[in-house]
Amino acid sequence: MQYLHTMVRVSDLEDSLYFYCDLLGMLEMERKDNEKGRFTLVFLAAPEDEISAHETRTPMLELTYNWDPEEYTGGRNFGHLAYRVNNIYALCDRLQRNGVTINRPPRDGHMAFVRSPDGISIELLQDGDPLPPKEPWASMENTGTW
């Protein structure tokens, strides 16, 4: 058995690509438009998975955008996506400066949670040992749920 990808439905493809690619730093690997089925699939990979994604198409995140409007609720119903990051403080700062709410701040220098534009819970984990506690994160309260 081999992990292939996780699929999430998105309501606004451009907002989602901005979040996942521009803010989180993921790379678009492939895009498929299906006019008959009226949907677009966009496959993304984390930068450190780029070679594997090219060679084996794993591991990736599949964004599914249905052209006919639908309302998606319960973004937490499957759990969350998790990504290891090089500097959790720098990434959370960039996300916050771009209007993303840090639902669970990285108070411990190790873990944070944010949500995608469609309410998908995203766990961010510091690569290696936790970073030393740092303000404003160390005293920041949780916001909402994750």
Mapping DSSP to helix (H, G, I), strand (E, B) and coil, where does residue 33 land? strand
Q: Residue 82 is encoded by which pair of tokens?
A: 């998790």
- The torsion angles phi and psi of 55, rounded to 5 degrees, stand at -80, -40
Q: Quick one: pLDDT at residue 76?
A: 54
**91 and 49, same domain (yes or no):** no
**Are 92 and 61 part of one and the same domain?**
no
- Token pair of 29 as six digits: 């690997």
β-pairing verdict for 102-104 and 60-66: unpaired
Establish if 45 belongs to a structural domain: yes
Rounded mean pLDDT, 57-78:
81
| Percent of the chain whose predicted confidence (pLDDT) is above 90 | 76
Confidence of residue 113 (pLDDT cuts 50, 70, 90): very high
Domain count, the chain: 2
% of the chain with per-residue pLDDT over 70? 95
Positions annotated as catalytic residues are 123
Could you tell me if 11 and 36 lie in one domain? yes
Q: Dump pLDDT digits (tens) for 22-55.
A: 999 999 999 999 999 999 999 999 999 999 999 9
Does residue 145 sit within a domain? no
**Domain, as residue range, for 48:** 5-66
CA distances from 129 to 35, 47, 48, 108, 112 (A): 47, 20, 18, 11, 14
Do 91 and 131 lie in one domain? The reply is: yes
**Antiparallel, parallel or unpaired: β 60-66 and 5-10:** parallel
| Element housing 82 (H / E) | strand 81-85
Residue 78 has pLDDT above 80, yes or no: no
Output the pTM of the full model: 0.81
Secondary structure class of 61 (helix, strand, coil): strand
What's the pLDDT at 2?
73
